[in-house]
Structure 1
């Protein structure tokens, strides 16, 4: 079903010509701001439209742009709303000081190893003491590997005969990163509940 949806979306966008190409790029921004579908589906549609390397570039640039928009909007206009949304993550408050000192490192690492969803990272960084420079650079560094991985998965799903080995390796790496992220999320949540 996911394959059919991605294929249908990419065909619909491709049929619109250059407008569809622009729409595919803007879908990445919208997905970053309103994550109602998995990013890998949008990434897959774009690699079908643009090809693997240009699709990755579109996914990367526009996902970073969406993250910056979410961060600056939440930081300047929605601080109280964001704090209420993130209240369920007890460990976030205790990390505020660390993020002030080492924000670039933590933002980059949390993008590569998904501890909390990307949307949560954008909002959490906005209400904590993450410097804007650290958020931007950490996002640019950290998003590249995961977006490349998701773009490869999206691409190779539709070219399974040619790239079966690479797809399985990418999926294995993706799941390993999810397991590591889940381990740290559980660890930090437990530590936060004890404090």
Structure 2
């Protein structure tokens, strides 16, 4: 399956940095989050292979939250000066800004929990709204836990498919089940 991204090579390359691999992984996660177009599944899987499932999960989660925080700051700096943002002329932005602080956090949390919703869109919406930075970081941390856990497990099992195909199959069937449930709502 390495025809898409050479994940084994990524894991081997990452492992070659020894202790520095953790910092490199955090940096790569941040870059992936800032770009907002690449899936982090492959890096999460490589982290699980290099560092182990649990440490790999924590490294992936930390990198995602770090990257989201940097993206939030960049988006706020870059897009915060746009006329539609300053005038609040977007209906969705106006509604989000009129919501209470707690409600904005709940909206962001629910958005983070929706599978396959691009993280960059959620970060952009939060950054141009009145959401506080630390509220964003906390909610992003909580909301990313389920997706990073699945990415880490699936990515790990994908790389080590010969050893873990039953668990990978079960995980993928679980995701399909969740997707079907969400579609019916």
C-alpha deviation, 1:147, in angstroms? 0.4
- Pairing 1:1-195 to 2, within 5 Å after superposition: 1=2, 5-80=6-81, 94-98=95-99, 100-114=101-115, 116-177=117-178
* Secondary structure of 1:37 counterpart: coil
TM-score by structure 1 length? 0.76
Of Structure 1 and Structure 2, which has the larger fraction of its residues in helix?
A: 1
Aligned equivalents of 2:164, 2:45: Cα separation in 1 = 15
Q: What are the ranges of 5 or more consecutive residues in structure 2 without an aligned counterpart?
A: none
Report the CA distance shift for 1:153/1:27 in structure 2 as closer, same or farther (over 3 A). same
Aligned equivalents of 1:99, 1:181: Cα separation in 2 = 27
Aligned equivalents of 1:82, 1:113: Cα separation in 2 = 29
Q: What are the ranges of 5 or more consecutive residues in structure 1 without an aligned counterpart?
A: 185-195
Aligned equivalents of 1:134, 1:80: Cα separation in 2 = 21
Moved over 4 A (4+): 80-84, 89-96, 176-184
Aligned equivalents of 2:173, 2:144: Cα separation in 1 = 18
C-alpha deviation, 1:158, in angstroms? 2.5
How many residues are matched?
Answer: 180
TM-score by structure 2 length? 0.80
